Amino acid sequence: MEGSIVEALVGLSAIGKGLAYGLAAIGPGIGIGIVGGKALEAMARQPEMAGRIQSTMFIAIAFTEALALLGFVLTFLL
Amino acid sequence: MFVEMAYASEAAEGAKGGLEATLGAVYPNPAAIWPTWVAFIILFFLLWKFAFPAIIGMLDKRAEAIKESLEKAEETKVEAERLLNEYKQQMAEARGDASKVIEQGRKVAETMKEEIVAKANEEAAALVAKAREIMESERKAAVAELQKSVAEISVAVAGKLIGEKLTAADHATLIDKYVAEVGGLNDN
Amino acid sequence: MNPLELLPGKIAELVHELSVLPYNNMEGHVTSPWTLTNYVVWGLIALVTTMIMFIVVANREKKQIALAAQSGDVTALAPAGRLVGALEAGVEFIRDMATDVIGPKDGPKYVPLLGTFFFMILISNMFGLIPAGKSIGGTIGGTVALALISWLAFVWIGFSKNGAYGYLKSLIPEGVRQMPPAGRIILGGFIFLLEFISYFIVRPLTLAVRLFANLYAGHIILGVFSGFVALFWPIFEKDLAWSIGGVGAGALALVFLILMYAFEVFVAFIQAYVFTILTAVYIQSSVHASEH
């Protein structure tokens, strides 16, 4: 009886971890998509600026990604 | 899926507790932190003091050398073009000079030829004139001789015919008279 | 027995191995900070390799420069070999990044720092891609150590360039500083709190976790797919249907494994690049803090 309760709690905790990371990844996923799409648009419009746009894009992606990474850490903390 | 792992790690962590148990896989292990710091510091000093100055110096030197070479090549190209133009001009000048020289030579030869021909003509004419003069003078001499002898002969013949001895003075006047007559005849 | 029943155990083993494996203690946990873990051993191998590469290349270049200066023959400056060319390309890449992001005046000073981050992470990641190899970025300890160095660098530069007051003041935007006192204190305090957390906590945390998460996830994916291949392949002694299905699933997993491997090579480069360019951006914001 005791064992099954522990097992259930462990299972619920696993579900919680999955949900936490999954939910945390939604926003940044959309955000990175927008950043990448806009960067592609800008590069297609001004191919001579592609290098600078690309580095700026990586920086923007890094800032957006921070949220997902916090979720990733949270998954381990749960 | 992770149930077994969770069991295993719970069991192990039960004894450990603390930060390591709470963080699990994201526990920053000191056993990995300090070697990373040491490695970073060693690598940083190597790159900072030794490798990067050499490599960046090389990059700069090479860029400089390439730039210099390009500039030199550009200069050489301009110089070569200038020389080529110069040579072309000189060649054209030389060609013009040569044709001028030939033209001049031809002209000189022409004038020389004309001169020579004119001189020859002159000489020939002079020769002919001289010859004619000589002939004339000889003819005149011959005529004078003839007149004289004719006069003498005729005086002698006349004297004989007349039988009278002419004085020397009469003789002379007579001769002159005849000569003048003959000369007058000759002049006709 | 259904091979899929073996999978959870295999994955648990894999995750466990990738988490905190000590080199000489299979029990699971590092008992002292002086334990020699797999990550440390592979990190030292990567360090020695990097050092040897740079020493060889720098020595050769020094000789070439001396030769060129001595003989006046610029052909001695020509790139000598693939290793030299590769490292030169990397160094030039870092130098261009520094001048591009930080600025032509301040950039060149920080090239050695950024170059150390870049080459250390990149070459370590490459060693991590060798089967059974580990990248220093694959353990949170290593990435935290690197992120702390980056954090220390940009905070130190910020304080020494702008002074303590100037640097902390620059966290509040110019417009808020011009507001009347009430708004300045309330809004300014709030923004200062947010910016302080973002500058001094979120930045190093995300630097560390980004590198770790990408490499850790990559290693787990590679491990899971190679686990699939190993699980499904030897099912020949079962009945025919199982064999065909097993070989088919194994072949599919192998194809995915190869594709993921190619992707992980790309990730190894991209993560080294992202870590370096983010450090450059943070340094730039510290150098020019008083300007905005």
In chain C, residues with a C-beta closer than 8 Å to the C-beta of B1 are 7-8, 11-12
Query: What band does C2 get if pLDDT is binned at 50, 70 and 90?
Result: low
Number of CB atoms found within 10 A of residue C200's CB: 14
Spans of all domains in chain C: 3-29+36-291
pLDDT average, residue stretch C200-215: 89
- Span C231-272, pLDDT tens digits: 777 665 566 777 777 788 888 888 999 999 999 999 999 999
Shortest Cα distance, chain B CAs vs residue A5, angstroms = 13
Neighbours, chain B (3 or more CB pairs < 8 A) = A, C
List, as ranges, residues 58-77 from B with C-beta within 8 Å of C: 58-59, 61-62, 65, 68-69
pLDDT reading at C198 higher than 60: yes
- The end-to-end CA distance of chain C, in Å, is 66
pLDDT reading at C186 higher than 90: no
How much is the CA Rg of chain B, to the nearest whole Å? 69
Cβ–Cβ under 8 Å, residues A22 and A72: no
* Whole-number Å distance between alpha carbons of C277 and A58: 8
- Span B95-111, pLDDT tens digits: 999 999 999 999 999 99
Query: What band does C226 get if pLDDT is binned at 50, 70 and 90?
Result: confident
Selection from A7-21, C63-77, C102-116 with the highest mean pLDDT: C102-116
Distance, C-alpha B42 to centroid of its chain: 73
| CATH classification at residue A25 | 1.20.20.10
Domain that holds residue A30: 2-77
Residues 6+ away with beta carbon under 8 Å from B90: none
Cross-chain CB nearest to B56 (options C16, C62, C95): C95
| 3-state class (DSSP) for residue B28 | coil
Residues of A with CB under 8 A from a CB of C: 52, 55, 58-59, 62, 65-66, 69-70, 72-73
Shortest Cα distance, chain B CAs vs residue C185, angstroms = 37
- Token pair, residue C178, equals 């011009």
* Whole-number Å distance between alpha carbons of C121 and C114: 11
Selection from A34-43, B172-181, C37-46, C241-250 with the highest mean pLDDT: A34-43
Chain-chain contact of B26 with A77 (C-beta, under 8 angstroms) = yes
Shortest Cα distance, chain C CAs vs residue B10, angstroms = 12
Neighbours, chain C (3 or more CB pairs < 8 A) = A, B
Neighbours, chain A (3 or more CB pairs < 8 A) = B, C
Selection from B176-180, C14-18, C29-33, C46-50 with the highest mean pLDDT: C46-50
Shortest Cα distance, chain C CAs vs residue B74, angstroms = 17
Tally C-beta pairs within 8 A across A and B: 19
In chain C, residues with a C-beta closer than 8 Å to the C-beta of B70 are none
Selection from A57-61, B18-22, B113-117 with the highest mean pLDDT: B113-117
Instruction: Check residue A59 and give its pLDDT.
Output: 81
Cβ–Cβ under 8 Å, residues C7 and C227: yes
C68-72 long-range CB contacts below 8 Å, 24 or more apart?
A: C68/B61, C68/B65
Instruction: Check residue B18 and give its pLDDT.
Output: 62
Chain-chain contact of C213 with A72 (C-beta, under 8 angstroms) = yes
Residues 6+ away with beta carbon under 8 Å from C225: C253, C254, C256, C257, C260
3-state secondary structure chain A: CHHHHHHHHHHHHHHHHHHHHHHHHHHHHHHHHHHHHHHHHHHHHCHHHHHHHHHHHHHHHHHHHHHHHHHHHHHHHC
In chain C, residues with a C-beta closer than 8 Å to the C-beta of A59 are 277-278, 281
Cβ–Cβ under 8 Å, residues C206 and A69: yes
Looking at the 3D structure of chain A, how many domains does it have? 1
Chain A residue with minimum CA distance to B6: A10
Shortest Cα distance, chain C CAs vs residue B51, angstroms = 5
Give me chain C's average pLDDT, please. 83
C281 close contact with A: CB closer than 8 A: yes
B129 close contact with C: CB closer than 8 A: no
pLDDT reading at C28 higher than 70: no
- Span C36-62, pLDDT tens digits: 777 888 888 999 999 999 999 999 888
Chain-chain contact of C136 with B37 (C-beta, under 8 angstroms) = no
C254 close contact with A: CB closer than 8 A: no
Instruction: Check residue B9 and give its pLDDT.
Output: 44
C273 close contact with A: CB closer than 8 A: yes
Chain-chain contact of C8 with B4 (C-beta, under 8 angstroms) = yes
Cross-chain CB nearest to C210 (options A52, A59, A69): A69
Q: With pLDDT > 70 as the criterion, what percentage of chain B qualifies?
A: 78
